[in-house]
Structure 1
Amino acid sequence: MRSRGMKAGAVATAIVMGSVALTGCGDDGGSEAGGTTASASASSSAGARQQDTQAVRNAYDRTAEAETAKLTIKVKADANGKSVTADGRGALDLAEGDSTMTITAGGQSVEQRVVDQVLYQKVPDPKAAGGKPWVKIDLKRVAGQQGADPQQIGDPAQSAAYAKAITDKDVSEVGTEKIDGVDTTHYKVSIDVAKLPGGAQLGKQLGPTLPMQIWLDDEGRIRRQQIDMSLEAPASAGPGASGAPQQAKVSTLMEFSDFGTDVDAEAPPSGQVADMTDRAAQGGRTGN
């Protein structure tokens, strides 16, 4: 039986949200009688920060408990003076990471499925895939070939570090908002990249912190999550290359709704699939 986790990263980003059981920050005891108003106010403020932090940490568990949800995702990437956007809509198994999506980018829409950590896309032009209507990328193999720990993709204990990287000083409540008619509480969060799996390498690309915004409903489940990343890739080599590091900004916005919806993600017949895993791994491999 697989461990339950919340995995949405295989849809369009490498973000993996895991189930984590964390205890709340305990009360140090009441303040002494006769304490100043300032100290009481500071204590109240600290308690509020602890509650906010715990709400954000618990959100991954609370959302995973719903088992499935409908998902919309918007990704915008800006690099080298060019902007690329992609929109996705579909359904997601929050525990297994399986999903069915329609992705629209560049005026074209493609069908996408994630099954057992393998990404499948129906190609607009089968000739580009050797006459096969589908291509696939084994996400675990790509992680291994690029030097990452393949276990980080499917192991909730690894993805739990995402929530563990959040401390009281990293969470602040923004206010309340309605999302599709649902009352939510909006938080700003700063993730300590060094505390994430592979944090030393990630820090070279992302910097020391990763800003995130998250909106939770009254049951503590994620309704919206936005992550804005500034990436720095190694300089390109070859004729005509500038030799300067490549800069990119990527914004990913995910929204969850209709918890408990049916998810029917199946892999296409193997004879209709071209394997692009090695090409994807080579394209994403960075130099030393």
Structure 2
Amino acid sequence: MGSSSVRAGRVGLAVLLLGTGAVACSKGASEESPKMTPAAAVAKAAKNVEDITSLSYRMTGKMPEEGRVKAEAKMRLKPDVAMSMKITALDKGADGTAEIRLVDKALFIGGGAAAAKEMDGKSWIKFDMAALGAAGESLGAAGQADKNPAQESTFLTGSKDVKEVGTETVDGVKTTHYKGTVSLDQFRDSLKSQSKVTREQREKSLEQYEKLGIDKFTMDMWIGADERTKQFRMRGAADKGPLDLTITFDDFNKPVNIAAPAAKDVADLAEMMKGAQAG
């Protein structure tokens, strides 16, 4: 079980980042109506999040305790939720790299050759999220693995000081840069006018940050003329250090196919626990 603790330690970092994926939609400044205020553009962006069925993105920045991180991920939201992410904690050395897959409500954490040496040739650990139940709390933010990462971008709708910074080019895409500050309480208040489904989805995205002790964010959004956010940044002070993440989006609503690792390479946590109890 010692090896499973090592792998589980990576789950909190990796799955937390799922919550940090973000996306929104709006028109670039050059195509906006003169009456379109920054707040209105951000509100429209939040509305269009509801139409996203899949996305892929890159992430860089700093996480509380973990330090510098980078990741690449893709996620399918409909008809069912599936996700794949490769993540590296740059300050953790050889133990800082892991791969995550969420398939059929099972979370797989892969540690490559290093993990295989510790687990009789098995390079992946399987966590059945439904079976874990309350025990899932021991995996940090593992419960966020099936949440839509697009929701974090909607936080800026609660800002009282959102403004347009200017136009900037990101990865060759011309964008309009918006910036503002928002507290979690302000964002929650802004949800009162939303539908029940939308409100519940966005309130779930608050949970991981509340657990980190973050109560306020400084946020930046770079929105392209295709009415989608090309890049997004969120900064906040957590109980155990600063959070500063930048998400750059590559694709939206394109087919995403994710398969579970080969059974021969997977160690099932439930079976490991049964074996330990029998022993």
Contact 1:59 1:216 (C-alpha < 8 Å) held by counterparts: no
Q: Structure 1 residues 119 and 86 mapped into 2: Cα distance closer, same or farther (>3 Å)?
A: farther
Match of 1:85 in 2: 68
Identical-residue share of aligned pairs (%): 22
Match of 2:62 in 1: 76
Rounded to whole Å, the distance in 2 between the matches of 1:112 and 1:204 is 22
Contact 2:16 2:144 (C-alpha < 8 Å) held by counterparts: no
**1:175-221 CA-partner distances (Å, limit 9, x unpaired):** 21111111111122434313244969954743432222221111221
Contact 1:161 1:197 (C-alpha < 8 Å) held by counterparts: no
**1:33-60 CA-partner distances (Å, limit 9, x unpaired):** xxxxxxxxxxx88x61442332332352
Letter in 2 for 1:72: R
Match of 1:268 in 2: 261
> Aligned to 1:169, what secondary structure does the other structure show?
coil
Match of 1:99 in 2: 83
> Aligned to 1:220, what secondary structure does the other structure show?
coil
> Aligned to 1:114, what secondary structure does the other structure show?
strand
Higher helix share: 2
Root-mean-square deviation (CA, aligned residues, Å) is 4.4
Q: Structure 1 residues 273 and 60 mapped into 2: Cα distance closer, same or farther (>3 Å)?
A: same
Equivalent residues in 2 for 1:85-234 (5 A)? 85-95=68-78, 96-105=80-89, 106=92, 108=94, 109-123=97-111, 124-125=113-114, 126-138=116-128, 144-145=134-135, 146=137, 154=146, 163=154, 166-167=157-158, 169-194=160-185, 195=188, 196-197=203-204, 203=210, 205-232=212-239
Contact 1:86 1:103 (C-alpha < 8 Å) held by counterparts: yes
Contact 1:98 1:265 (C-alpha < 8 Å) held by counterparts: yes
TM-score (norm 1): 0.59
The unaligned stretches of length 5 or more in structure 1 are 1-8, 21-43, 233-246, 280-288
Question: Among residues 252, 275, 279, which one is paired with 2:245 in the alignment?
Answer: 252
Contact 2:182 2:218 (C-alpha < 8 Å) held by counterparts: yes
Match of 1:37 in 2: none
Instruction: Report how far residue 161 of structure 1 moved.
Output: 9.1
Rounded to whole Å, the distance in 1 between the matches of 2:129 and 2:225 is 34
Contact 2:156 2:182 (C-alpha < 8 Å) held by counterparts: yes
The unaligned stretches of length 5 or more in structure 2 are 1-13, 26-33, 189-202, 273-279
Letter in 1 for 2:69: A
Rounded to whole Å, the distance in 2 between the matches of 1:50 and 1:115 is 37
Contact 2:84 2:102 (C-alpha < 8 Å) held by counterparts: yes
The yes-or-no answer on 1:12 pairing with 2:17 is yes
Contact 2:161 2:181 (C-alpha < 8 Å) held by counterparts: yes
Letter in 2 for 1:248: G
- The count of corresponding residues between Structure 1 and Structure 2 is 226
Contact 2:76 2:256 (C-alpha < 8 Å) held by counterparts: yes
**1:123-152 CA-partner distances (Å, limit 9, x unpaired):** 232132353111234566778443999997
Q: Structure 1 residues 133 and 72 mapped into 2: Cα distance closer, same or farther (>3 Å)?
A: same
**Relative contact order (alpha carbons < 8 A, sep ≥ 6): 1 or 2 greater?**
2
Contact 2:46 2:154 (C-alpha < 8 Å) held by counterparts: yes
Instruction: Report how far residue 273 of structure 1 moved.
Output: 1.8
The yes-or-no answer on 1:57 pairing with 2:62 is no
TM-score (norm 2): 0.61
